Amino acid sequence: MKMKAAILWEPKTEWSVEEVELDPPKAGEVLLKLVGSGLCHSDEHLLTGDLSLDPAVAKELGVEQFPIIGGHEGAGEIVEVGPGVTTLKPGDHVVLGFIPSCGRCAYCARGKQNLCDLGAYLLAGRQVTDFTSRHHAHGKDLGLMCCIGTFGEYTVCAESSCIKIEPDIPLDKAALVGCGVTTGWGSAVYAAGVMQGESVVVIGCGGVGMNAVQGATLSGARHVIAVDPVEFKREQAQVFGATHTAASIEEAMPLVNELTWGVMADKVISTMGVGEGKLVESIMGLCAKGGRVVWTNVAPINDTDVSLNLFNFTLQEKQLVGSLFGSANPRRDIPHLLRLYQEGKLKLDELITRTYPLKDINKGYQDMRDGINVRGMLIY
């Protein structure tokens, strides 16, 4: 079949919306009609070239990263299933997980489905079933962001990327739980392990950070200090439960010091647009002795430099932990968060600042760069 999708032909260019030829699903795959897609910062990393495919994986599979259909925060309805698909049927509603979870590898078996071994192929952009393409344009195979490619009206992806949800949940809101919401919420609830009465700092209040604010609030934090240079995002953070705000790490320092009587924050969650190693030391400075800093934001793939006072790191017994998908389990937490939404405990509607048709995707990303959206969203 033919459909429209946004393709990035090479890094440092623009998204190009054009006609794509889509093959039917093969074994273990499904065809989905997508309702829309969140405009997440991780796709911007494709555009800037910060998110590049490991040359060893490219060689192993014989694939190139570009051209690629972007998008990894989507939801839709199953149209057709390929041979051997047993858990889904046409008409089912699903959220796409940006990490496939096979259910069989050692990580899946111990409930760490966010670390499924199939994650090694996330940036290879092919079907994780047989490592070939179903999407083509101008005679070339197209890659798919996170093996799902939600910047298109339809997609074909693996059954292992699909999380079935209840049919009465609005799909456009459900899409957000595929990446930003779960990543932010889980960063607070699981990776940071926020407990009642703790002081929590969240650095960067976009589509991920806003949900770290909401996760910390739902966990009963006493102070939730939201740090963002954009005034609109600081205002919005208060809608999601922030008790205090600051425009920068420097501005947060005396505020956290005063609020905690010099103890500093129990937990600090870093959810900036781009993670920068040179900021680590000042972020650790916001954290109390024995406290924990969670590093959720994506940094440029080849960055290895970190500024960190290793003397204080030892003597103050601080923790610095990485977190992928909020250390959450897509099969458990996506339906779990959608139930919280239905019960009015989790805010999703308030996250979507603006919606765009597919053809305006470049405007949507410009608005993200300009900081005027918590989350921009494509609606097909």
Comparison of 90 and 322: residue with beta carbon closer to Zn ion? 322
Q: Which residues contact 66 (CB under 8 A, 6 or more apart)?
A: 8, 9, 10, 11, 143
Strand partners, 69: 7, 144
From candidates 79, 88, 105, 279, binder to Zn ion by CB under 5 A: 105
102 binds Zn ion (CB under 5 A): yes
Structure tokens at 281: 């030391």
216 binds Zn ion (CB under 5 A): no
CA dist 179 and 114 (Å) reads 11
C-beta of 273 vs 285, nearer to Zn ion: 273
Q: Binding segment for Zn ion among 46-54, 105-113, 135-143, 210-218 (CB under 5 A)?
A: 105-113
Cα–Cα nearest to 268, from 335, 167, 198:
198
d(CA 41, CA 323): 16
- Cα dihedral: 290, 295, 300, 301 (round 10): 90
Residues 6+ apart with CB under 8 A from 9: 16, 66, 67
Q: Which stretch binds Zn ion (CB under 5 A): 33-41, 55-63, 75-83, 295-303?
A: 33-41
Nearer to Zn ion, 171 or 181 (CB): 181
| 223 in Cβ contact with 163 (< 8 Å) | no
**Can you tell me which of 42, 161, 271, 329 binds Zn ion, judged by CB under 5 A?**
42
User: If DSSP codes are grouped into helix, strand and coil, which group holds residue 316?
Assistant: coil
Quick check: 324 binds Zn ion (CB under 5 A)?
no
108 binds Zn ion per the rule CB under 5 A: yes
Task: State the nearest-atom distance from the C-beta of 256 to Zn ion, in Å.
Answer: 28
Q: Can you tell me which residue has the tokens 């949800």?
A: 165
Stretch touching Zn ion by CB under 5 A, among 41-49, 145-153, 227-235, 334-342: 41-49
Interaction between residue 179 and Zn ion (CB under 5 A): yes
- Of the listed pieces 47-55, 86-94, 109-117, 139-147, which binds Zn ion according to CB under 5 A? 109-117
- Position 116 contacts Zn ion (CB under 5 A): yes
Site residues (CB under 5 A) for Zn ion?
40, 42, 102, 105, 108, 116, 179
